[in-house]
Amino acid sequence: MKETILETKGLIKYFYNPSKFQVIKNVDLKIQQGEFVSIVGKSGCGKSTLLYLLSTMDTDYEGQLFIHNQLITGQSDQNLAKIRNEKIGFVFQFHYLLPEYNVLNNVMLPGLKLGKYSKKELEQRALKHLKTLEIDQHALKMPNQLSGGEKQRVAIARALINDPLIIMGDEPTGNLDRKSGDVVFDIFKKLATEFNQTILIVTHDPDFAHKTDRIITMEDGKIIS
Amino acid sequence: MNYKLILDIAIHLLRARLKQTIVAAVGVTFSIAMFISLVSFMSGLNGLLDGLMLNRTPHIRMFNEVKPSDNQPLSLSKDYKGNTVFIHSIKPKDRGKSIYNSMSIISALKQDKRIIDVAPKVTASVLYNSGTIEISGMVNGIDVLAENTLFKISDYIKEGKLSDLFQNNSIIIGKGLSDKMLLSVGDIIKVSTSNGTLSSLKIVGISETGIADIDNMASYTSLATAQKIVGQPKNYITDIQVNLYKKENAVAIAHEFHTVYDVDTIDYLAANVQFETGSSVRSIISYAVGIVLLIVAGFGIYNILNMMIYEKMDSIAILKATGFSGSDVKWIFISLSIIIGVTGGVFGLIFGFIFSSIIDVIPFSSPSVPSVTTYPIDYNGSYYVIGLVFALFTTLISGFFPAMKASRVDPVEIIRGK
Ligand SMILES: Nc1ncnc2c1ncn2[C@@H]1O[C@H](COP(=O)(O)OP(=O)(O)O)[C@@H](O)[C@H]1O
Ligand SMILES: [Mg+2]
């Protein structure tokens, strides 16, 4: 039997500004180890909002969130930061790299924070990931010297550095041209098939979604399929 | 918490904004440097003025004050014991200015281990006569050697030598007197006292203290000459001046001598209250200026950190998304302010020292303190410690609020906001 990586029970979220309205409506969700899942839906239906809840960054919700069968809801800021560091890898639409650090250091940073491996080992691991993503030749460049697609691959390498339980992405190809988008998708695919990495990607690109293992469709804050 | 990593991130953030950081740190440097040089200078000045005061004032002076007797004859009467008595129109009895039993007091004091030296003195108000003019003034009959150990008066003798006072009927007059009466060394000056005696004395020197009141009125002779001028015997002494090894004890010892020897005593603090006030006002001014400068520098740091936070919102969001907690982010920004404060502060100490040394070699001369040739600086380590503590304190305070703000940045808002 496969392990459950992510689970929600009756997830509800309201926005109060400008007026009270419910963005997430009673979402029950289960994601198993090794699944490559995409969340699709019309713009404004609450995909991003749901992902931020799952990412533990947004704590203002009702219902329960479990990661690896551990209840996350109600944990302290300190613990949540630790869980994000250790168990979740993020890739955003806009490649958020730290402009002050070079590519290699950007990838290593969450690892340094975790402190599980020495700096030397982390460097080796970071280079290995960069090699898998075929950007190791840019390891010593600064982020502003890279193209959009390359930056996104660096962000994926960073997401991988602590061997997370799950990688989450909010439209990671949304800001890329077709070709770079395909390269990024192929990388996710490869991670899922070759390394059995659990991946959850929000997208509004139907082509992207159709190539994933499982599609979750949202409408108006609810999961409809 | 991983301090090394947090410091590393702080340093990387600083490097990205190197110019503004340097400006903020220079603000701290400037204020600390000003604080150090100001306080050192003011305190040097205080030391100089205190020295000026102590150069002239004995730690304890013993004398006879003209005052009504504490015990009026009526209080000896048994009949009125316990009654409240009113006596009108009491007049002080002039027991003379002479200290009773002065010789035995002096020899007792000379045995006292707490005392550096004892300088007996005879003061007499006189009229100086030269031709037709009369100028009122004061003759100080001094024990030449003891007076010099206590007050270094030889420093103020501009012409002639102090030791010339050992000659009979010799006098050293103040510069103002010599100017007014057109008298110079070798001339004769006539001195008359209130009881009518007139003496002719030979001028062997001119003294200049820089204080007009003294230079225009005072002159020095030996004890014996002074006693002769006032027509009094060898045991006539009006003041006994004492310097202590520990001048802090002056108040207590003055009180002790008052009871033991039954004379009036005054300690140097009571005699110079206004000096203390001046000193503390000067210190307060320099500290106030230093603190004001630091507050200004603090605003500079606050500004740069605030600006940095707005610029680095994305970086803060990404740090939080990848597992740095609010408190990690807070410490990153506090480290930033500490780095600015410490480097700015240390350079401030260095420049403060340099400025002080520059002030220290600027020529400055005053006739009242002949031993001083440049502006006085007090190189006191504690000012440097205070300066650094101040610098750290202000930077911490001004860094704290931006740091709290950074720690509360909501990454979702930033990531969504794009
Ligand atoms: N901070 C917010 N305050 C109020 N409403 C918000 C806020 N963020 C998003 N919304 C609204 O919530 C809905 C869902 O937004 P979002 O999850 O970003 O949609 P999606 O990612 O599916 O396009 C939208 O109608 C959006 O306008
Ligand atoms: Mg969205």
Q: Quick check: B16 and A100 CB within 8 A?
A: yes
Q: Is the CB of A203 under 6 A from ligand 1?
A: no
d(CA B341, CA B346): 8
The pLDDT, as a whole number, for residue A95 is: 66
A174 CA from centroid of ligand 2 (Å): 10
Return the amino acid letter for B4.
K
B315 close contact with A: CB closer than 8 A? yes
The pLDDT tens digits for B326-359 are: 999 999 999 988 998 899 999 999 999 999 999 9
Tell me the chain B residues in contact with residue A80 when contact means C-beta distances shorter than 8 Å. Answer: 325
- Residue B262 neighbours by CB distance under 10 Å: 12
Residues B372 and B364: beta-carbon distance below 8 Å: yes
Compute the average pLDDT of residues A110-128.
93
B312 CA from centroid of ligand 1 (Å): 24
Closest CB from A77, A80, A84 relative to B322 = A84
Do residues B159 and B298 both lie within one domain? no
Q: Where residue B193 falls among pLDDT bands split at 50, 70, 90? A: confident
- Residue A156 token pair: 């994926």
Closest CB from B5, B317, B321 relative to A84 = B321
- Residue A193 neighbours by CB distance under 10 Å: 12
Do residues B128 and B251 both lie within one domain? yes
d(CA B334, CA B305): 9
- Residue B331 token pair: 């410490």
Residues 6+ apart with CB under 8 A from B185: B159, B160, B203, B204, B205, B206
Do residues B248 and B282 both lie within one domain? no
A43 CA from centroid of ligand 2 (Å): 7
B408 close contact with A: CB closer than 8 A? no
The pLDDT, as a whole number, for residue B351 is: 95
Residues 6+ apart with CB under 8 A from B312: B13
Among the candidates B255, B271, B287, a domain finishes at: B271
Residue B81 lies in a domain: no
Residues B238 and B64: beta-carbon distance below 8 Å: yes
Q: How far is CA A65 from CA A54, A88, B140, in A?
A: 7, 14, 98
* Ligand 2 (single-atom ion) residues, CB below 5 Å: A 48
Given a cut of 60, whether residue B418 has pLDDT beyond it is no
Kindly report the protein residue whose alpha carbon is nearest to atom 10 of ligand 1: A15
Among the candidates B205, B240, B271, a domain finishes at: B271
Do residues B109 and B144 both lie within one domain? yes
Residue B85 lies in a domain: no
Do residues B302 and B263 both lie within one domain? no
Closest CB from B2, B12, B320 relative to A101 = B12
Q: Which of A15, A17, A95, A96 to mutate to test the interface with B (most CBs of B within 10 A)?
A: A96
Mutate to test the pocket of ligand 1, among A16, A20, A23 (most ligand atoms within 8 A of CB): A23
Question: CA of A1, closest CA in chain B: separation in Å?
Answer: 30
A16 CA from centroid of ligand 2 (Å): 18
Kindly report the protein residue whose alpha carbon is nearest to atom 14 of ligand 1: A46
- Residue B137 token pair: 């003034």
Q: Quick check: A98 and B324 CB within 8 A?
A: no
From the CA of A170, give the closest atom in ligand 1. 21
Residue B343 lies in a domain: yes
A50 CA from centroid of ligand 2 (Å): 9
A90 close contact with B: CB closer than 8 A? yes
Residue B189 lies in a domain: yes
d(CA B291, CA B31): 8
Do residues B292 and B226 both lie within one domain? no
Do residues B10 and B23 both lie within one domain? yes
Given a cut of 70, whether residue B228 has pLDDT beyond it is yes
Q: Where are the beta strands (DSSP E) in B233-356?
A: 239-244, 264-267
A48 CA from centroid of ligand 1 (Å): 7
Do residues B305 and B263 both lie within one domain? no
Q: Is the CB of A45 under 6 A from ligand 1?
A: yes
Q: Flag the least confident range among B121-125, B163-167, B288-292.
A: B288-292
Given a cut of 70, whether residue A135 has pLDDT beyond it is yes
Q: Is the CB of A49 under 6 A from ligand 1?
A: yes
Mutate to test the pocket of ligand 1, among A11, A12, A13, A15 (most ligand atoms within 8 A of CB): A15
* Residue predicted with more confidence, B45 or A219: A219
Do residues B245 and B98 both lie within one domain? yes
Task: State yes or no: cis peptide before A99, omega within 30 of 0.
Answer: no
The pLDDT tens digits for B393-403 are: 888 888 899 99
Number of structural domains chain B divides into:
2
Return the amino acid letter for A54.
L
Tell me the chain A residues in contact with residue B328 when contact means C-beta distances shorter than 8 Å. Answer: 81, 113
Q: Where residue B93 falls among pLDDT bands split at 50, 70, 90? A: low
Q: Is the CB of A15 under 6 A from ligand 1?
A: yes
Residue B84 lies in a domain: no
Kindly report the protein residue whose alpha carbon is nearest to atom 24 of ligand 1: A44
Do residues B286 and B240 both lie within one domain? no
Domain that holds residue B102: 60-66+93-271
Q: Strands A62-67 and A4-15, how do they pair?
A: antiparallel
The pLDDT, as a whole number, for residue A166 is: 94
The domains of chain A, with CATH numbers, are 35-47+76-223 (3.40.50.300)
Tell me the chain A residues in contact with residue B317 when contact means C-beta distances shorter than 8 Å. Answer: 96
Q: Where residue A1 falls among pLDDT bands split at 50, 70, 90? A: low
d(CA A201, CA B312): 26
**Distance from chain centroid for Cα A190:** 16
Q: Quick check: A77 and B326 CB within 8 A?
A: yes
Residue B76 lies in a domain: no
Residue B97 lies in a domain: yes
Q: Is the CB of A23 under 6 A from ligand 1?
A: yes
Q: What is the ipTM of this complex?
A: 0.92
B409 burial (CB, 10 Å; 0-12 / 13-18 / 19+) is: middle
A176 burial (CB, 10 Å; 0-12 / 13-18 / 19+) is: buried
Do residues B305 and B391 both lie within one domain? yes
The pLDDT tens digits for A167-195 are: 999 988 888 888 888 888 898 999 999 88
d(CA B260, CA B104): 12
Closest CB from A58, A93, A162 relative to B412 = A58
Given a cut of 80, whether residue A152 has pLDDT beyond it is yes
Q: Flag the least confident range among A45-49, B80-84, B233-237, B366-370.
A: B366-370
d(CA A167, CA A184): 13
Kindly report the protein residue whose alpha carbon is nearest to atom 6 of ligand 1: A15
Among the candidates B239, B255, B271, a domain finishes at: B271
Compute the average pLDDT of residues A123-147.
92
A60 CA from centroid of ligand 1 (Å): 14
The pLDDT tens digits for B361-380 are: 998 877 667 677 888 888 98
Q: How far is CA A177 from CA A93, A152, A173, A180, B333, in A?
A: 12, 12, 8, 6, 37
Q: Quick check: B320 and A81 CB within 8 A?
A: yes
Kindly report the protein residue whose alpha carbon is nearest to atom 11 of ligand 1: A44
Closest CB from B315, B321, B324 relative to A90 = B321
Closest CB from A94, A113, A158 relative to B324 = A113
Do residues B244 and B289 both lie within one domain? no
Residue B78 lies in a domain: no
Percentage of residues of chain B with pLDDT beyond 90: 20
User: Buried b vs exposed e over B76-98: b needs ≥16 C-beta within 10 Å?
Assistant: eeeeeeeeeeeeeeeeeeeeebb
Q: Is the CB of A44 under 6 A from ligand 1?
A: yes
Compute the average pLDDT of residues A187-206.
90
